[in-house]
Structure 1
Amino acid sequence: MAPILEVRDVTRRFGGFTAVNRCSLTVEQGGITGLIGPNGAGKSTLFNMVAGNLAPSSGQILFEGREIQGLKPHQLFDRGLLRTFQIAHEFSHLSVIENLMMVPGGQPGENLLEAWFRGRTVREFEVQVRERAQDVIDFLKIGHVAHELAGNLSGGQKKLVELARTMMVDAKIVLLDEIAAGVNRTLLNDIAANIERLNRERGYTFFVIEHDMDLIGRLCDPVIVMAAGEVMRTGTLAEIQADEAVVEAYFGGSPTGHATTGVGASA
């Protein structure tokens, strides 16, 4: 099976600084691929290029075999490539269920003429969207906050809402950007369990930037290591943790006793 996502020899420069240097990697369809590396490794810049927030200086990015570099985020969204953020981007003054209902594009109620002259169509579509939102809420078991203002939620609950929003459309791949940041361990366990369920039961493909090695170890195989804008190594987490070059990249040649269990935990 061809990879769902391919990055081929991609470089991104900011003036005289090269943030990503001739980077190549693949993400297999139906898997959960991890991307780790010390701060400044180029991970977020790479994600921003894949998600359409930045254009590469050179190289190719292919999604389902078609070049996508230069496409805008909304165009990639329409193709099924979605991205969550380290800091959740919720509509704080809308409820959780309303946040979910905002996701699907092309809603007839967005068109003034449709709203005036095809009110029945608008209402029927809204019912369908609400039903889907309720299904998502039930799947993620967040019914207790369904009618809470999203701005009132904890950081971890907001991350769950971000994940829920990806379920409101037919996502083919979801880029998860530090889903564990600022989340307590109990809620993080719930998030991880839902990612596993989405992958197993609904065939979601995930590409994950993460510093939490426990989460990476639970979810991801393979794991890709970046340092200084380049891919250093791809393999299982155990293989990567045993690689002296990776340890040196994280700890500057002075590995601690935590190197075999927490590579990158402090990055």
Structure 2
Amino acid sequence: MSSDLVIDVRNVTKRFGGITAVNDCSLSVRRGSITGLIGPNGAGKSTLFNIVAGNIVPDSGQVIFDGKDVTGCKPHELFRIGMLRTFQIAHEFSQMTALENLMMVPGDQPGEHLVGMWFRPGLVQARETEVRKKALDVIDFLKLGHVRHELAGNLSGGQKKLLELGRTMMVDARIVLLDEVAAGVNRTLLNDLADNIERMNRELGYTFFVIEHDMDLIGRLCDPVIVMAQGQKIAEGPMAEIRANPAIIEAYFGAPAEVA
């Protein structure tokens, strides 16, 4: 495998009863890219995304992450080695502040253990200070300072998506899987969200794998764009090429005027 591949999906198949959702599918995500995954309803893209994220185990094939076979690994195991996912519906701790939500992310903090709290209070305090500083830096980066002490449950849909994005910045993510990031977000906050994804990619070197129905957002963020249909990859390239492919436009996007 080439060293610049963060995700390498190899001949993955997944069946549910008599339905083949993903059919011998292979695709890859290159390091430093914002790669989009699109296709019509029933194309298999959500199933494939869940396989990569560790939520579904494939019937056959492999998922290679940074050179390691992670097929069948659980989401928490993938989290520990740098694969993070955001969700279509934000998963915030609603009764904690935005700042506290971010501070919860890093694992194995000494304050999580009674021994550390009782016998190493200095270490606990030092680590908490370090995590708090990191969280404040993330909040500043995402321009969420005005809501840092607001309960996360009170945030708007777009602010919750920004907070989820911030949670991926609290650890050393090798790749971030973005699941329907535009869902439930107004256009103003969606523009902010897109700006931050681009900044994270450009300034911090984040790699993103994006599943999304909003073609304008895909067109803005993603290169390459992978198209799935009937459980397989059928095309890959810049969005301009995807939009210009008459067969794809007719079969998956409708009339050309609808996607211009």
TM class by smaller structure? over 0.9
Alignment RMSD (CA, Å): 1.1
Letter in 2 for 1:206: F
Aligned with residue 148 of structure 1, among 140, 147, 150: 150
Take 1:36 and 1:129, find their aligned partners in 2: how far apart are those partners?
A: 36
Map of 1:121 onto structure 2: 123
Instruction: Give 1:243's aligned amino acid.
Output: N
- List alignment gaps of at least 5 residues for structure 2: none
1:54 aligns with 56
- Equivalent of residue 178 in structure 2, options 176, 179, 186: 176
- The one-letter amino acid paired with 1:30 is G
Q: Answer yes or no: is 1:256 the counterpart of 2:258.
A: no
Q: Shift of the alpha carbon at 1:259?
A: 3.9
Cα distance between partner residues in 2 of 1:66 and 1:4:
10
Q: Secondary structure of the residue that 2:5 maps to in structure 1?
A: coil
Give the structure 1 partner of residue 78 of structure 2.
76
- Give the counterpart letter for 1:256 in structure 2: A
TM-score of the aligned structures, taking structure 2 as reference length? 0.96
Deviating above 4 A after TM superposition, structure 1's stretches of 4 or more consecutive aligned residues are none
CA contact (8 A) 2:249 2:256 kept: no
Deviation at 1:256, TM superposition (A): 2.4
Matched length: 258
C-alpha distance in 2 between matches for 1:189 and 1:122? 38
Shift of 1:245: 2.4
Match of 2:210 in 1: 208
Instruction: Find the aligned partners of 2:241 and 2:41 in 1 and give their Cα distance.
Output: 21
- Alpha-carbon deviation of 1:219? 0.7
With over 3 angstroms needed to count, the CA separation of the structure-2 counterparts of 1:52 and 1:83, relative to structure 1, is same
Whole-angstrom distance in 2 between the partners of 1:248 and 1:231: 17
Separation in 2, partners of 1:257, 1:28: 30
The letter for the 1-side match of 2:243 is Q
* Cα distance in structure 1, aligned partners of 2:117 and 2:153: 29
Q: Structure 2: how far apart are the matches of 1:103 and 1:160?
A: 15
CA displacement 1:199-233 (0-9 Å, x = unmatched): 00110000001111111111100000011211111
Letter in 1 for 2:91: H
TM-score (norm 1): 0.94
Gaps of 5+ in 1: 262-267
